[in-house]
Chain A
Amino acid sequence: MVEHIDGNALAGPLSDLFTFDPTTASARCAGCGDVAVLARAMVYGEPDTFVVRCANCDDVLMTIVQAPDRFCIELRGMTWLKIPR
């Protein structure tokens, strides 16, 4: 089994970028249409790169690359992100 954790763990890395808690935001998977909070997604490949996969179909929702001088976020796998306020 490839090691992975839950989207819960994205709370810290993404707190650098967002003022809201990203783990309670829901995303719609562009692959299968499943809607789930990011906390429920599967996260692979800590610590500098996070590949976030849909817990339902395993498609990539989002990729985050942390470099010393920048963040790179690729969001092609989600149709939207709904943020509670």
Chain B
Amino acid sequence: MTGTSEARDGRIGNWKVGVVTSIRRESASGRSITIDVPGWGGNIAGQHTDVRLTAQNGYTAVRSYSVASAGVGDRIELAVDRLPTGEVSPYLVDTLREGDELELRGPLGGWFVWTPQQAESVQLIGGGSGIVPLMAMIRSHEASGSATPFRLLYSVRTPLDAFFRAELESPSANLEVTWIFTRRAPSGCSRPAGRITAADLEAHGFPAALSPTVFVCGPTGFVETVATALVALGHEPNRVKTERFGGA
């Protein structure tokens, strides 16, 4: 370590070494990964971490991952979807094992966050792995006993692609969950499979007149479609918070 980085000890941006304590299958391409990160010190719902992989030749790759857990302590949960041609996600999904070490920094970001002090209604809209920071908000909402109404619209290709499915299929009293299936809907589902539309937002989301805070997260294209539709439905742009995960 160089003198400069030593002088920066204690900064959020310092790389910390975590140890993987468990890995759970969420879908064919998704895993949730629980990691003990000494020095993490807890996080607010919605924050993320940067993960750094270093190859034998010293080449490094850094990617951001939202934290699915919230609260105090040094144990965090991430959930990662494998992009077949990706550099980092296939390693995290297919190769990483319990007991492996992982370099991380964070908790990062103080804007795309929800705290139990917030009293307004909250609309969560997630596409694919975009559920991850929203899950932290749902868990924080439930753990805090907040009576604030929450609604979630969760868009996934098929029921089998959903992350945190069991948890979302039995939501707490103050959470309403609407599923959007884009490729294949289960039998008995009245909405035909297809991408999320303004009509879905209007039918299942809190109306703009209620001035909810809206959190939208997922692939960049999903986020942009949804954010544009929300503003067209009358939502105040400043109340719509977005987190783009990348991709077209």
Answer yes or no: B64 CB below 8 A from chain A CBs.
yes
Q: How many residues of chain A are within 8 Å of chain B by beta carbon?
A: 23
Query: Are the CB atoms of A21 and B109 closer together than 8 Å?
Result: yes
Q: How many residues of chain B are within 8 Å of chain A by beta carbon?
A: 27
On chain A, the residues within 8 Å of B112 by CB distance are 6, 8, 39
> What's the nearest-Cβ distance from chain A to residue B56, in Å?
17
Q: With contacts A8-B48, A16-B13, A47-B61 known, is A3 near B220, CB below 8 A? A: yes
Q: In chain B between 57 and 97, which residues have their CB closer than 8 angstroms to a CB of chain A?
A: 61-62, 64
Contact of B11 among A1, A5, A13, A19 (CB under 8 A): A19
On chain B, the residues within 8 Å of A11 by CB distance are 48, 106, 108-110
A51 to B248, CA, bound (A): 17
Question: B10: nearest residue on chain A (CB-CB)?
Answer: A19
> What's the nearest-Cβ distance from chain B to residue A47, in Å?
6
Answer yes or no: B142 CB below 8 A from chain A CBs.
no
A5 to B242, CA, bound (A): 10
Query: Are the CB atoms of A12 and B13 closer together than 8 Å?
Result: yes
Answer yes or no: A9 CB below 8 A from chain B CBs.
yes
A17 to B105, CA, bound (A): 14
Query: Are the CB atoms of B243 and A6 closer together than 8 Å?
Result: yes
Q: With contacts A11-B108, A15-B11 known, is A5 near B50, CB below 8 A? A: no
On chain A, the residues within 8 Å of B221 by CB distance are 1
A45 to B248, CA, bound (A): 13
- A-B pairs with beta carbons under 8 A, tally: 69
Query: Are the CB atoms of A15 and B12 closer together than 8 Å?
Result: yes
Query: Are the CB atoms of A15 and B13 closer together than 8 Å?
Result: yes
Q: In chain B between 217 and 248, which residues have their CB closer than 8 angstroms to a CB of chain A?
A: 220-221, 241-248
A46 to B88, CA, bound (A): 14
A11 to B50, CA, bound (A): 9
Query: Are the CB atoms of A5 and B244 closer together than 8 Å?
Result: yes
A71 to B13, CA, bound (A): 14
Q: With contacts A3-B248, A24-B111, A37-B111 known, is A8 near B243, CB below 8 A? A: yes
On chain A, the residues within 8 Å of B62 by CB distance are 12, 47
> What's the nearest-Cβ distance from chain A to residue B66, in Å?
10
Question: B223: nearest residue on chain A (CB-CB)?
Answer: A6
Question: A47: nearest residue on chain B (CB-CB)?
Answer: B62
Query: Are the CB atoms of A4 and B11 closer together than 8 Å?
Result: no
Question: A12: nearest residue on chain B (CB-CB)?
Answer: B50
Q: With contacts A15-B13, A47-B61 known, is A23 near B244, CB below 8 A? A: no
Query: Are the CB atoms of A8 and B111 closer together than 8 Å?
Result: yes
Which 6 interchain pairs have the tightest Cβ spacing?
A15-B13, A39-B111, A12-B50, A11-B108, A11-B109, A21-B110
Interface residues of B (CB under 8 A from A): 8, 11-13, 48-50, 61-62, 64, 105-106, 108-112, 220-221, 241-248
